[in-house]
Each structure stands twice: as structure tokens, then as C-alpha cells.
Amino acid sequence: MVLGTAYWTAFRPRSQVFGPFPYRARTADKVVALTFDDGPNEPYTSRLLDVLDHRGVKATFFQVGRCAQRFPSAARRVVESGHVLGNHSYSHSFTSGLRQPRQHEEIRRTQDIVQTITGVVPALYRPPWLCHWPWVLHAVDDQGLQVVSGTFAHPLEVLQPPARMLTTAAARRAKPGSIVILHDGREARGGPRAQSVAAVGPLIDRLADQGYTFTTVDRLLGVPPYLR
């Protein structure tokens, strides 16, 4: 019980006990940042980009290095289309987050891969499972990145409930300054994400009807998207 409480205290998305870990921007403006984790994962990442590009909405993709190696053209399209590509570790391994030397390596390796594929070096890092142990934050800070949290669109998105449920849950949770977390992959394993992709167009339309506009995490937080 104590351990469970400690885990929740440390890892819940809004936990700030280990230092600044922004999950939203302080603003009254009706603006949200849509973020997509665990890609690239084809064909879902490309379908998602079609949805976003068709609506002229820019989003932030926290990609896994191993997945970017597998689907480099999807990673490249994210950057070329004007979306922002952030680092989401190399292997999405839980145990890698438990030790600082491996955490450093998880970040650095993906920085190198993304630079090779896209030409940019991410300045944003979202740790897998939003685990922000002090040594994780230290490793992120040490490499000059900004750590980013967010609000999960739906607690059971991993199980791919019907798209309309994802849309409804995400729209209900969105507030001015929200950083909304959806997934175009699953950890480093890929897998079907059709419901998540199908939820995004209606989500954008619903929020736009409520007066929301969309931006990327770097702009929302007022930090640079890339180190170079």
C-alpha cells in the first residue's frame, strides 16, 4: 500500500514531486497541444498525419528511437510537415528508466537517430510511462532537453476502445493550455491504433467548435522545439 501510494505520488501525470514536469501551460486561452506517443508505427502514423495535415493542425510526436529506425520515412514526414518531433527514449523499456547510465543512453541514442533521419535534434523529452525519477530528470536536463508530461486522453486507450469513446473522453478532459496525450503506437512494439487515429479528426472538430485552437508543445510552453 505504501509502495503503491509512493508509486502514484511519483508517477501520476501531474506529479511535480521530483521537479518541474509540465503537463499543461498556465493560460486562459482556448489552446491545446495534441501529442502522440510511441510512434512511428505504420500505417497509423501516416494516416494520422493525413488527418492533421488535412485540417492544418500541428501536433507534437514523442517518438521511440527504435520505431524511428523501423519507419524512418514517417519520422521524416513529421518534421517536413511542420509538426514537432520529441524524444520518447530508444527502447521504451521500464528498467532503462531505473538507472541513470542507461537513461542517458536511451536519450542520447534517439537524439542521434532522429538527427540522422530528419536533420533536427529534439529539445523535448517525454519519459516512457511519464516516469520522472530524479535521475531521469537529471539525465534529461544534462542533455539540455525539456521534460514534458501531459493528460492522458483516455485511461484505457491502450485497449483501443471505440474511437467515439476516445473522442468524448479527450474532449471532456481538454482545458485551456492542456497537453493531450494520445498514442500512434504501443511502447516500442507498434500494433493496431486504428481507433486512436479515427478519434483525432472528430476530436479536432469538436474542440474547434468550442473555440479551441491547436499548437505544439514548444510553443505552448515557450521553449525551443529543437536543440539544432
Binding site for Zn ion (CB under 5 A): 37-38, 128
- Using left for φ > 0, alpha for ψ between -120 and 50, and beta otherwise, residue 21 falls in beta
Q: Return the residue matching grid coordinates 527502447.
A: 91
- Closest separation in Å from C-beta 156 to Zn ion: 15
Q: Is 176 exposed, middle or buried (0-12, 13-18, 19+ CB in 10 A)?
A: middle
- Closest separation in Å from C-beta 186 to Zn ion: 8
- Closest separation in Å from C-beta 92 to Zn ion: 6
What size, in residues, is the chain? 228
CA distance 127 to 175: 23
Q: Residue of minimal CB distance from Zn ion?
A: 37
- Closest separation in Å from C-beta 183 to Zn ion: 7
- Closest separation in Å from C-beta 127 to Zn ion: 8
**DSSP one-letter code for 43:** T
Whichever of 31 and 182 has its CB closer to Zn ion, that residue is: 182
Whichever of 65 and 128 has its CB closer to Zn ion, that residue is: 128
**DSSP one-letter code for 188:** T
CA distance 58 to 225: 13
- What three-state secondary structure class fits 120? coil
Residue type, 109: R
Whichever of 128 and 201 has its CB closer to Zn ion, that residue is: 128
Whichever of 83 and 92 has its CB closer to Zn ion, that residue is: 92
Whichever of 158 and 165 has its CB closer to Zn ion, that residue is: 158
